[in-house]
Chains A and B, each alone.
Chain A
Amino acid sequence: MKFTFFHLMPYRPLDMVERHKHRAGWVLLPNALYDPVKGAEEYQSYLDQLTYAEELGFDVIAVNEHHQTAYGLMPAPNLIASALIQRTKRAKIAIVGRALPLVNNPVNIAEEFAMLDNLSKGRIITGFVRGIGNEYHATGINPYFSHERFQEAHDLIVAAWSRPGPFSFEGEQYNLRYVNCWPRPYQTPHPPIWIPSMGSSETIRWAAAPERKYTFLVTFSGRDLVARYLNLYRDQAKDYGYEASGDQLGWASPVYVAETDERAKEEARDGMESLFNDFLAVPWEMLMPPGYTSLSSMKNTMRMRKALGAQKRHSLEDLMASGTVVVGSPQTVRDELARLRDVTGANNLVTMLQFGVLNDELTRRNMELFASEVMPHLRD
Chain B
Amino acid sequence: MTAQEQTHKVRDITVRLWRDGGGAALVYLHGSAGYPGWLPFFARLAEKFEVVVPEHPGFGKSDNPAWVRNVGDVAMYYLDFLDGLAAQRVHLVGHSLGGWIAAELAVRNCSRLATLTLIAPAGIRVKGVPSGDNFIWSPEEAIRNLYYDQSFAEQRLAQVPSEEEADLLLTNRFMAAKLGWEPRWFNPGLERWLHRITVPTLVLWGAEDKYLPSRYAQAWGAQVPDVMVDMIPECGHMPLVEKAEATADKILGFLAGRRQ
- The answer for the CA separation of A302 and B174 in the assembled complex, in Å, is 14
B203 within 8 A of A: no
Contact A290 B135 (CB under 8 A): yes
A286 within 8 A of B: yes
Question: Which of A141, A143, A286 is the most central at the interface, judged by chain B CB atoms within 10 Å of its CB?
Answer: A143
Q: In the assembled complex, which residues on chain A have CB atoms less than 8 Å from the CB atom of B138? A: 283, 285
A13 within 8 A of B: no
B178 within 8 A of A: yes
Contact A140 B182 (CB under 8 A): yes
A39 within 8 A of B: no
A40 within 8 A of B: no
Q: How far is the CB of B7 from chain A (nearest CB, A)?
A: 21
Give the interface size class of chain B: 10 to 19
Q: Which of B49-57, B165-173, B213-221 contacts A (4 or more CB under 8 A)?
A: B165-173
Contact B184 A290 (CB under 8 A): no
Q: In the assembled complex, which residues on chain B have CB atoms less than 8 Å from the CB atom of A295? A: 170-171, 174
Closest to B64 in A: A295
Interface residues in A126-149 (C-beta closer than 8 Å to B):
136-137, 140-145
Contact B167 A290 (CB under 8 A): no
A222 within 8 A of B: no
B177 within 8 A of A: yes
- The answer for the CA separation of A230 and B248 in the assembled complex, in Å, is 59
| Selected contact of A285 from candidates B135, B170, B174, B181, CB within 8 Å | B135
Q: In the assembled complex, which residues on chain A have CB atoms less than 8 Å from the CB atom of B139? A: 285
| Selected contact of B177 from candidates A283, A286, A290, CB within 8 Å | A290
Q: How far is the CB of A103 from chain B (nearest CB, A)?
A: 14
A238 within 8 A of B: no
Q: In the assembled complex, which residues on chain A have CB atoms less than 8 Å from the CB atom of B181? A: 136, 140, 142-144, 289, 291
Q: In the assembled complex, which residues on chain B have CB atoms less than 8 Å from the CB atom of A302? A: 166, 170
- The answer for the CA separation of A289 and B133 in the assembled complex, in Å, is 12
B194 within 8 A of A: no
- The answer for the CA separation of A6 and B183 in the assembled complex, in Å, is 35
Q: How far is the CB of B143 from chain A (nearest CB, A)?
A: 13
Contact B167 A141 (CB under 8 A): no
Contact A285 B178 (CB under 8 A): no
Contact B136 A286 (CB under 8 A): yes
| Selected contact of A143 from candidates B137, B170, B177, CB within 8 Å | B177
B79 within 8 A of A: no
Contact B174 A144 (CB under 8 A): yes
Contact B174 A290 (CB under 8 A): yes
Closest to B183 in A: A140
With contact pairs A285-B137, A290-B176 given, residues A142 and B170 touching in the complex (Cβ less than 8 Å) = no
Interface residues in B27-75 (C-beta closer than 8 Å to A):
none
Give the interface size class of chain A: 20 to 34
Contact A142 B171 (CB under 8 A): no
| Selected contact of A140 from candidates B137, B178, B184, CB within 8 Å | B184
Q: In the assembled complex, which residues on chain B have CB atoms less than 8 Å from the CB atom of A143? A: 177, 181
A314 within 8 A of B: no
- The answer for the CA separation of A142 and B167 in the assembled complex, in Å, is 21
Q: How far is the CB of B190 from chain A (nearest CB, A)?
A: 18
Bitwise, A270-303 to B at CB < 8 A (1) or not (0) is 0000000000000101100111000100110010
- The answer for the CA separation of A272 and B189 in the assembled complex, in Å, is 49
Contact B136 A142 (CB under 8 A): no
- The answer for the CA separation of A143 and B135 in the assembled complex, in Å, is 11
Q: In the assembled complex, which residues on chain B have CB atoms less than 8 Å from the CB atom of A299? A: 167, 170
Contact A289 B135 (CB under 8 A): yes
Bitwise, B182-202 to A at CB < 8 A (1) or not (0) is 111000000000000000000
Closest to A136 in B: B181
Closest to B70 in A: A142
Q: In the assembled complex, which residues on chain B have CB atoms less than 8 Å from the CB atom of A28? A: 136
| Selected contact of B178 from candidates A136, A141, A144, A283, CB within 8 Å | A144
Q: In the assembled complex, which residues on chain B have CB atoms less than 8 Å from the CB atom of A145? A: 178
Q: How far is the CB of B130 from chain A (nearest CB, A)?
A: 12
- The answer for the CA separation of A142 and B185 in the assembled complex, in Å, is 12
- The answer for the CA separation of A143 and B182 in the assembled complex, in Å, is 9
Question: Which of B167, B176, B181, B182 is the most central at the interface, judged by chain A CB atoms within 10 Å of its CB?
Answer: B181
- The answer for the CA separation of A289 and B170 in the assembled complex, in Å, is 11
Contact B174 A142 (CB under 8 A): no
Can you list 25 A-B contacts with CB-CB less than 8 angstroms, sorted by A residue number? A28-B136, A137-B135, A137-B136, A140-B182, A140-B183, A140-B184, A141-B182, A142-B178, A143-B177, A143-B181, A145-B178, A285-B135, A285-B136, A285-B138, A286-B136, A289-B135, A289-B177, A289-B181, A290-B176, A290-B177, A291-B178, A295-B170, A295-B171, A299-B167, A299-B170
17 additional A-B residue pairs with CB within 8 Å, beyond A140-B181, A140-B182, A143-B181: A28-B136, A137-B135, A141-B182, A142-B177, A142-B178, A143-B177, A144-B174, A285-B135, A289-B135, A289-B177, A289-B181, A290-B173, A290-B176, A291-B178, A295-B171, A298-B174, A302-B166
Which residues of B line the A interface, CB within 8 A? 135-139, 166-167, 170-171, 173-174, 176-178, 181-184
Which residues of A line the B interface, CB within 8 A? 23, 27-28, 136-137, 140-145, 283, 285-286, 289-291, 295, 298-299, 302
Nearest 4 interchain pairs by C-beta: A290-B177, A144-B178, A142-B181, A290-B173
